[in-house]
Amino acid sequence: MHLISQKALTEFWKVHRAAEAPLRNWSRAIRRGTFTNLVELKASFGPVDYVPIAPRGLHVFNLGGNKYRLITSIRFDKQRIYIRNILTHADYSKGDWKK
């Protein structure tokens, strides 16, 4: 898959140093993989949730032992994954990202 954009990941781990390894591992696995649906994502990444908001919905990855949430928009047909937001678990729980 083509990852858009790595910059969001690096900006997040500059602030949250412990997030660097899980985000690097995730991005490496995404770029090396070809995924056609949510079932395939879950087979590779474990807990991935589909949230039916926005035009195509969002996919939320739990990373770093449930410490971080990576919110993405995925175009399976074009093999593109867009980073929408990266949050700590506490910030994700507030729900502001849904707006």
- Of 74, 91, 88, the residue nearest 23 (C-alpha): 88
Query: Which amino acid does the sequence have at 72?
Result: T
Tell me the average pLDDT across 28-47: 92
- CB contact set of 23 (below 8 Å; sequence gap of 6+): 9, 12, 13, 63, 64, 68, 70, 86
Per-residue model confidence as pLDDT tens digits over 58-70: 999 999 888 999 9
* 0.85 exceeded by pTM: yes
Yes or no: domain 2-98 corresponds to CATH 3.30.2310: yes
Confidence of residue 55 (pLDDT cuts 50, 70, 90): confident
**Which carries the bigger pLDDT value, residue 75 or residue 54?**
75
To the nearest whole number, what is the mean pLDDT of the chain? 91
E strands along 1-99, which residues? 2-4, 48-51, 58-63, 68-75, 80-88
Distance CA 76, CA 68 (A): 23
pLDDT of residue 54: 67
pLDDT of residue 91: 83
Asked whether the beta carbons of 3 and 81 are under 8 A apart, the reply is yes
The domain spans of the chain are 2-98
